Amino acid sequence: MSQAAVVQLFKALGDPVRLQIVQRLSNGVPLCMGELSKDLGISRQGARKQIQALVTANVVQLHPVGREVKVQLDATALTQGRDFIAALEAQWDQRLQALKQFTEQ
Amino acid sequence: MSQAAVVQLFKALGDPVRLQIVQRLSNGVPLCMGELSKDLGISRQGARKQIQALVTANVVQLHPVGREVKVQLDATALTQGRDFIAALEAQWDQRLQALKQFTEQ
DNA sequence: CCAACATGCAACTAATTGGTTGCATGTTTT
DNA sequence: AAAACATGCAACCAATTAGTTGCATGTTGG
């Protein structure tokens, strides 16, 4: 996964409205635009723009069904983000381990 | 961990310059402002602002030492971010499991 | 067929952000 | 003490972003 893709992912998650949308979709049930736009405190068109941002960051996919559009989470994006953080932590832990070895000598 | 804190964390990581800073610090070696500002393609003062953003998001801590200031990663923030994503994935997997059960009947 | 519905798109505004430059201040080194 | 160094801070600018409104378009139900 490219550096830029990870940045895009975290940027997408780094907004209260978008994160809330992701949370609502995390139970696996796809919701259509209209439903998803409710209770966000912003207009439908405003919500639409945030959803589009999630699409661009590959956090979410759109599936048109008749006159409505289902929005579905793409959990692989989440996994990639988690893996990225885990890799950072691994480096960190490795260093701490080395320091521990050093002080124990 | 509050919703807002997670948003702040992801927002902090959702920028190429800041993510690069975090990566440089992930090996556990604290760097001072000056070193950290190099090779980012921006001015020292510009880099400083990004570092401050990381401080605000609790991704990094500052430790003044004489005339310089050491910047150290706070890995607990990373862990909290990873845990948050893992929780979303858990919900997701749970739902997939339920769907599998359903189709197998 | 027509009304109600779900959505898309463009133009616009206000706020935030990422960056700059210039200058001030405290700390080493010689 | 003076020069060099590491940093801090404020003012400013350009670009991006988050949101709005208004209107157009395709779809479904009676």
pLDDT tens track for B71-89: 999 999 999 999 999 999 9
A34 beta carbon < 7 A from strand C? yes
Rounded to a whole number of angstroms, the CA Rg of chain B reads 18
| ipTM score above 0.90 | yes
Å from A93 to nearest chain B CA? 8
Residue A100, pLDDT score: 65
Q: Over the stretch A18-49, which tens digit does the pLDDT of each residue have?
A: 999 999 999 999 999 999 999 999 999 999 99
Is the pLDDT at B101 greater than 90? The verdict is: no
Instruction: Say which of B27, B89, B94 has its CB closest to residue A79.
Output: B89
Minimal C-alpha gap between B93 and chain A (Å)? 8
The pLDDT assigned to B100 comes to 66
For residue A72, give the nearest of A19, A36, A34, A28 by alpha carbon. A28
- The values of phi and psi at residue B32, to 5°, are -85, 165
* pLDDT more than 90, % of chain B: 87
A3-104 carries CATH number 3.40.50.300: no
For chain B, domain boundaries: 3-104
